[in-house]
C-alpha cells in the first residue's frame, strides 16, 4: 500500500511534484522568476523519463499559452506556469483560452508587475488576469499549493466547468520557502485512485468529427457567448466545493473556498488572500491572548468570487478590513471592490481597505496589529474616515 510521505519542499518543488503526479500530456512553458524552478523541475522529470509528456520549449509566454490552447483544444491535459511580466505577455491568449472553455492549469508564483521592475511578491500579476475568465485560487502555504494543483486539474476538466484554472502561490514567500509537504499516497497513478480520471473533453478538435472553433462572433452572437461563459464560471463554485470535499474525504485535508479563523465572537476582522493569512493567524492568536476579540477570514477562491460564503464567514464582526496586495490605480484594491460589492444592500459591518505588501514589502505581525488597531478606532467612531489605507509605506 502506498504511503503518504512528508517531504521538505519549497513551494515551487511541491507544485512541480503535484503537477507531475497529475500526468499532463503537454507542458508548454517559459522560465521567469520566481516560477522558473517549477518548469525546470518538470523539464528534469521529462528528461529523466519520470514523466511521459510533450514538453514544449517555447520562445515566449505568449507562445506558451498559445501552445497550451492548442493542446487543450485536442483534448490533452495541459500545464504551464508563469509570473509577473510573463503573465502580462501571455494575457491575450489567457483571455481567449477561457472564452473557448479550454481547461489548462497554470501556476502563478505571484510577483509584482513592472515598473519599477521588481522580483518580489505581490498580487498585481494575478489581478491583471482577474477578468480573464480563469478560476483563481490563492494558496496560504506550500501544502495548499501542492493540494490546489491536484484539485485544479479535476476542477478545470470537469465537463460542467471546462475552464482554465490559475493557482497562485506567493513568490519567494512560498515559492522559495521550504515547508513540510505531505504527498498523496497514490496506488493507481493513471487516475490518482479515481480522483482524477483521464480527461474527457467537453468538445475537441477531431478530424473524424470536425467542428469549427475560434470563430468570429459579431454583435448577434458575442454577448450570448459571454453570457454562457459567465454562467459556467459562476456555477463552477459548486464543482469546486465538490472537489474540495472529495479531496478532503480521501486524504484528510479540506481547503474551503472561504475559511473563517476565530470569527465566532470576533468584533473586528481582516480578510486575507495568499500567504499573509499565516501571519494574520499568528497576529490573531497574539491579540486574543491579550483579550482582544479579533478574527480573520481567508479568501482562498477569488474567481469565482464566493459571495455567500464570504457573507457567512464575516459572522457578526462590526468592522472588517480587506487586505489587498495590489491596487487598481485610481480606485481601491480589487479584493476590496468585490467585498464592497458583496455588502451592497446589507446592513453589515463597516468595511475598509488596507493596501499591504506591494513589491515584496514585508507583511509582519505588526502590520496586522496596525490594521486591527485602526479597525477598532473606526468601530469606536462608528464610521470609516479613510476607506483605503496604505499600511507599512514610509512617510504615511
> Which residues form the interface with other proteins (CB under 8 A)?
99-102, 162, 202-203, 210-215, 217, 220-221, 223-225, 227-228, 231-232
Residue nearer to other proteins on the CB measure, 76 or 310: 76
Residue nearer to other proteins on the CB measure, 185 or 228: 228
Instruction: Give the whole-angstrom CA distance, residue 325 versus residue 123.
Output: 5
Residue nearer to other proteins on the CB measure, 212 or 289: 212
Supply the minimum distance, in Å, between the C-beta of residue 222 and other proteins.
Answer: 8
Q: Find all residues with CB under 8 Å of 288, minimum gap 6, and list them.
A: 262, 294
In the sheet where 319-324 sits, what is the strand order? 258-261, 294-299, 268-272, 319-324, 350-355, 388-390
Supply the minimum distance, in Å, between the C-beta of residue 99 and other proteins.
Answer: 7
Residue nearer to other proteins on the CB measure, 114 or 213: 213
Supply the minimum distance, in Å, between the C-beta of residue 100 and other proteins.
Answer: 5
Supply the minimum distance, in Å, between the C-beta of residue 211 and other proteins.
Answer: 5
Supply the minimum distance, in Å, between the C-beta of residue 23 and other proteins.
Answer: 24
Residue nearer to other proteins on the CB measure, 102 or 255: 102
Instruction: Give the whole-angstrom CA distance, residue 339 versus residue 319.
Output: 13
Cα distances from 285 to residues 78, 179, 261, in angstroms, run 41, 21, 10
Residue nearer to other proteins on the CB measure, 160 or 308: 160
Residue nearer to other proteins on the CB measure, 2 or 234: 234
Per-residue cell: 363 = 507583511
Residue 293's nearest CA partner among 284, 301, 302 is: 284
Instruction: Give the whole-angstrom CA distance, residue 9 versus residue 92.
Output: 33
Instruction: Give the whole-angstrom CA distance, residue 210 versus residue 30.
Output: 31
Residue nearer to other proteins on the CB measure, 3 or 227: 227
Supply the minimum distance, in Å, between the C-beta of residue 395 and other proteins.
Answer: 49
Residue nearer to other proteins on the CB measure, 59 or 220: 220
Instruction: Give the whole-angstrom CA distance, residue 12 versus residue 15.
Output: 5
Residue 139's nearest CA partner among 29, 5, 18 is: 18
Supply the minimum distance, in Å, between the C-beta of residue 225 and other proteins.
Answer: 4
Instruction: Give the whole-angstrom CA distance, residue 184 versus residue 250.
Output: 10
Residue 375 DSSP SS3: helix
Supply the minimum distance, in Å, between the C-beta of residue 218 and other proteins.
Answer: 8
According to DSSP, residue 360 is labeled G
Instruction: Give the whole-angstrom CA distance, residue 362 versus residue 40.
Output: 28
Residue nearer to other proteins on the CB measure, 223 or 377: 223
Supply the minimum distance, in Å, between the C-beta of residue 357 and other proteins.
Answer: 37
Per-residue cell: 355 = 493596501
Cα three-residue angle 352-116-323, rounded to 5 degrees: 15
Instruction: Give the whole-angstrom CA distance, residue 48 versus residue 42.
Output: 10
Cα three-residue angle 176-178-184, rounded to 5 degrees: 110
Supply the minimum distance, in Å, between the C-beta of residue 232 and other proteins.
Answer: 7
Amino acid at each position: 500500500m502506498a504511503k503518504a510521505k512528508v517531504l521538505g519542499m519549497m513551494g515551487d518543488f511541491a507544485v512541480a511534484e503535484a503537477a507531475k503526479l497529475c500526468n499532463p500530456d503537454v507542458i508548454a512553458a517559459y522560465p521567469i522568476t520566481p516560477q522558473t524552478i517549477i518548469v525546470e523541475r518538470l523539464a528534469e522529470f521529462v528528461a529523466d523519463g519520470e514523466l511521459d509528456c510533450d514538453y514544449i520549449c517555447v520562445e515566449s509566454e505568449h507562445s506558451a499559452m498559445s501552445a497550451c490552447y492548442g493542446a487543450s483544444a485536442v483534448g490533452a491535459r495541459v500545464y504551464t506556469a508563469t509570473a509577473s511580466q510573463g503573465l502580462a505577455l501571455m494575457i491575450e491568449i489567457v483571455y481567449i483560452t477561457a472564452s473557448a472553455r479550454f481547461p489548462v492549469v497554470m501556476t502563478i508564483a505571484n510577483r509584482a508587475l513592472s515598473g519599477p521592475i521588481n522580483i518580489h511578491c505581490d498580487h498585481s500579476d494575478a489581478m491583471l488576469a482577474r477578468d480573464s475568465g480563469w478560476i483563481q485560487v490563492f494558496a496560504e502555504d506550500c501544502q495548499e499549493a501542492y493540494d490546489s494543483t491536484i484539485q485544479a486539474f479535476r476542477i478545470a476538466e470537469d465537463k460542467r466547468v471546462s475552464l482554465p484554472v490559475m493557482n497562485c502561490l506567493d513568490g519567494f514567500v512560498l515559492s522559495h520557502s521550504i515547508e513540510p509537504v505531505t504527498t498523496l499516497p497514490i496506488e493507481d497513478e493513471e487516475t490518482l485512485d479515481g480522483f482524477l480520471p483521464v480527461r474527457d473533453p467537453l468538445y475537441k478538435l477531431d478530424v473524424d468529427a470536425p467542428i469549427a472553433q475560434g470563430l468570429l462572433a459579431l454583435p448577434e452572437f458575442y454577448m450570448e457567448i459571454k453570457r454562457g461563459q459567465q454562467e459556467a464560471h459562476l456555477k463552477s463554485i459548486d464543482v469546486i466545493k465538490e472537489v474540495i470535499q472529495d479531496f478532503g474525504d480521501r486524504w484528510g485535508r479540506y481547503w474551503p473556498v472561504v475559511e473563517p479563523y476565530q470569527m465566532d465572537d470576533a468584533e473586528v476582522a481582516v480578510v486575507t488572500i495568499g500567504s499573509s493569512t499565516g501571519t494574520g493567524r499568528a497576529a490573531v492568536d497574539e491579540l486574543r491572548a491579550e483579550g482582544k476579540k479579533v478574527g480573520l477570514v481567508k479568501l482562498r477562491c477569488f474567481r469565482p468570487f464566493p459571495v455567500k460564503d464570504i457573507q457567512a464567514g464575516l459572522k457578526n464582526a462590526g468592522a472588517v478590513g480587506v487586505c489587498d496586495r495590489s491596487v487598481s490605480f485610481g480606485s481601491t484594491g480589487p479584493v476590496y471592490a468585490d467585498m464592497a460589492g458583496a455588502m451592497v444592500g446589507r446592513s453589515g459591518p463597516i468595511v475598509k481597505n488596507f493596501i499591504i505588501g506591494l513589491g515584496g514589502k514585508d507583511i509582519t505581525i505588526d502590520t496586522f496589529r496596525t490594521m486591527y488597531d485602526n479597525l477598532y478606532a473606526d468601530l469606536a467612531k462608528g464610521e470609516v474616515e479613510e476607506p483605503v489605507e496604505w499600511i507599512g509605506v514610509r512617510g504615511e
